[in-house]
Amino acid sequence: MLTREVILSALSRLSDRLHEMNVVGEINIVGGTAMMLAFQVRQTTKDVDAIFAPVDAVREAARFVASDLDLPTDWLHDAVKGFASDMGRFQVAEGIDLSNLRVQTPVPEYLLAMKVMAARGAIGGERGDAEDIAFLIGFLKLRSASEVLQIVQEYYNPSQILPRSVYLVEEIFEQLNASGEAS
């Protein structure tokens, strides 16, 4: 598992390596790592899901960093690009200023939409999308499942929203209402 400190160190080393390669890169971090960097609500994550450019240079630099810092070879990967929305919006990650790597995280609404679309995990179980969705609902001060789904539809075609996503959002609101956190 990767901690915030390990990820920040790896990103710094990635920027250094890109500098050595005379390349400036951009990385849009999503998923659990985005929750960790933007909101500091996670202590660890298994990998860094991201969309990055230039793809080949960043991949090469990431392999170097993995070897240099003794990280898993897939510590940074872009498998998430198949789930990204063309409407997705990102913002510069606060507190991460690197010379050859621009680091961005999704705006909270887009991160919520991505988490709802993935819909993994359940309240009270292993930390998954449900816990992150519940956090983002509170952060954005949303009051109902329909408000959440309206945000999701700003980024994804309604026909792409699976029933499990809708059920998970409804379950989260049931839990929040039962605990008194949503009103």
Q: What is the pTM of this model?
A: 0.91
How far apart CA 107 and CA 90 sit, in angstroms, is: 5
Two tokens at 179?
């605990």
Residue 34 in this model has a pLDDT that exceeds 80: yes
CB neighbour list of residue 156: distance below 8 Å, 6 or more residues apart:
85, 87, 113, 117
Q: What is the arithmetic mean of pLDDT over 80-93?
A: 93
Two tokens at 141?
């001060």
Task: Report H helices in the chain.
Answer: 4-20, 31-39, 55-69, 108-118, 129-139, 145-155, 163-179
Domain ranges of the chain: 2-106, 109-179
Query: pLDDT tens, 117-154?
Result: 998 765 444 457 899 999 999 999 999 999 999 999 99
CB neighbour list of residue 33: distance below 8 Å, 6 or more residues apart:
2, 7, 45, 47, 48, 49, 50
